[in-house]
Amino acid sequence: QSVLTQPPSVSAAPGQKVTISCSGSNSNIGNNYVSWYQHLPGTAPKLLIYENSKRPSGIPDRFSGSKSGTSATLGIIGLQTGDEADYYCGTWDDSLSGYVFGTGTKVTVL
């Protein structure tokens, strides 16, 4: 049972925008940086966002991240068919003394 809650799925047409929420608590999101990962089946998960809103080299600016209090949000604009994947948030949890991942959100491009 994950301590970070995400919606199971979101969908939108190509070119549109989706947002994915990640809800936690003071012991995790509220006190630590949040990262976001993209996972296409059969491939290695890829880091999309680190330190709440920073993008690694090579990640397009269509992907953005933000954090407010005990929640974080991943935004994807200009949705493409290649964006169909599972997305997970992650952060350190001070109470659990460990890294925790969100429940995961499947993005579908209609």
Partner 1 sequence: QVQLQESGPGLVKPSETLSLTCSVSGYSISSGYQWGWIRQPPGKGPQWIGNIHHSGSTYYNPSLKSRVTILVDMSKNQFSLKVTSVTAADTAVYYCARYGHWFDPWGQGTLVTVSS
Positions that interact with partner 1 (CB under 8 A): 2, 33, 35, 37, 43-47, 50-51, 56, 88, 90, 92, 96-104
| Residue 104, phi-psi category: left (phi > 0), alpha (psi -120 to 50), beta (remainder) | left
Nearer to partner 1, 1 or 110 (CB): 1
Nearer to partner 1, 56 or 78 (CB): 56
Nearer to partner 1, 71 or 104 (CB): 104
User: First-to-last CA distance in the chain?
Assistant: 30
3-state SS track over the chain:
CCCEECCCEEEECCCCCEEEEEECCCCCHHHCCCEEEEECCCCCCEEEEECCCECCCCCCCCEEEEEECCEEEEEECCCCHHHCEEEEEEEEECCCCEEEEECCEEEEEC
CB of 83 to partner 1, least distance (A): 18
Nearer to partner 1, 24 or 102 (CB): 102
CB of 13 to partner 1, least distance (A): 27
CB of 34 to partner 1, least distance (A): 9
CB of 70 to partner 1, least distance (A): 18
